């Protein structure tokens, strides 16, 4: 089973760090803003099935928007990421990112999860203006998404977030049909993005 997952959200929210934590269990403090699109492969065993996940990590910077929009195609799982300490990144999910999904996603029943990242910073409480867990949950519910607060830095809930997302895909029959069409997904995903499923 080959799954295509996609990370989206404003620049600096921690998409690449979440992927690095999930795929390689690594962490880095340094910030190297993603240029265009990157991806990692990760194998996961779930419900007795061997799953191959291709996780696409898009650049949050606006100048790459035209390029990154092509990668929504065929994604069965979408991860919306915001930074709990930056309200603008949370508001952008409704104002920018969910609109991008509406426009470019080709998979009607794709599963979505909202991640409030950098929850490690809220250890001593949240400063005024930071996004509360309730606000995150409300947006997730309204947009038909799952929700978790995570920390790529301290590992909190990162694996769980991807597992929940994958579980959601596996529980959606139309999405499982799509993953079974392996060869075309592979060619579409890795080559010219022209395959019927990517
Ligand atoms: P673009 O590639 O520009 O879209 O940004 P991005 O969303 O990929 O952000 P990236 O993962 O590069 O992280 C940006 C900065 O946030 C880096 O300095 C990270 O070290 C920091 N960061 C990421 N995740 C966490 C986290 O969970 N906690 C804390 N404290 N810092 C984090
Ligand atoms: Mg990045």
Q: Which atom of ligand 1 is nearest to the CA of 151?
A: 27
- Shortest CA distance to 88 belongs to which of 110, 69, 62? 62
Q: What local confidence, expressed as pLDDT, does residue 17 receive?
A: 98
Ligand 1 contact via 85 beta carbon (within 6 Å): no
Average pLDDT over residues 131-159: 98
Residue 188 CA: distances (Å) to CA of 3, 75, 158, 182, 192 = 13, 11, 28, 10, 6
- Shortest CA distance to 113 belongs to which of 74, 149, 151? 149
Q: Which residue in the block uniquely carries the two structure tokens 């426009």?
A: 103
Q: What local confidence, expressed as pLDDT, does residue 196 receive?
A: 54
DSSP tag of 98: H
What the block records as the tokens of 165 is 């997302």
Secondary structure class of 126 (helix, strand, coil): coil
pTM of the model: 0.92
CA of 16 to the centre of ligand 1 (A): 7
pLDDT in tens, 54-112: 999 999 999 999 999 999 999 999 999 999 999 999 999 999 999 999 999 999 999 99
Q: Which atom of ligand 1 is nearest to the CA of 14?
A: 11
Q: Is the pLDDT of residue 190 over 70?
A: no
pLDDT in tens, 13-47: 999 999 999 999 999 999 999 999 999 999 999 98
Q: Is the pLDDT of residue 191 over 50?
A: no
Ligand 1 contact via 89 beta carbon (within 6 Å): no
Q: Is the pLDDT of residue 189 over 90?
A: no
Q: What local confidence, expressed as pLDDT, does residue 12 receive?
A: 98
Q: Which atom of ligand 1 is nearest to the CA of 27?
A: 20
Beta strands in the chain (DSSP E): 2-8, 37-46, 49-58, 77-83, 111-117, 146-149
Ligand 1 contact via 60 beta carbon (within 6 Å): yes
């Amino acid at each position: 089973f080959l799954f295509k997952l996609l990370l989206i959200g404003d620049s600096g929210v921690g998409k690449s760090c979440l992927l690095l934590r999930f795929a390689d269990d690594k962490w880095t403090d340094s910030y190297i803003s993603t240029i265009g699109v990157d991806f990692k492969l990760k194998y996961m065993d779930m419900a007795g099935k061997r799953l191959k996940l291709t996780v696409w990590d898009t650049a949050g910077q606006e100048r790459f928007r035209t390029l990154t929009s092509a990668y929504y195609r065929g994604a069965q799982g979408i991860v919306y990421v915001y930074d709990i300490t930056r309200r603008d990144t949370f508001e952008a999910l409704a104002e920018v990112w969910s609109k991008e999904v509406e426009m470019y996603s080709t998979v009607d029943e794709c599963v979505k999860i909202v991640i409030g990242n950098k929850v490690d910073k809220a250890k001593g409480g949240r400063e005024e203006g930071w996004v509360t867990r309730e606000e995150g949950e409300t947006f997730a519910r309204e947009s038909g998404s799952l929700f978790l607060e995570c920390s790529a830095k301290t590992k909190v809930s990162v694996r769980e977030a991807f597992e929940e997302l994958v579980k959601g895909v596996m529980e959606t029959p139309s999405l499982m049909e799509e993953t079974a069409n392996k060869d075309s997904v592979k060619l579409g995903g890795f080559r010219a993005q022209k395959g019927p499923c990517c």
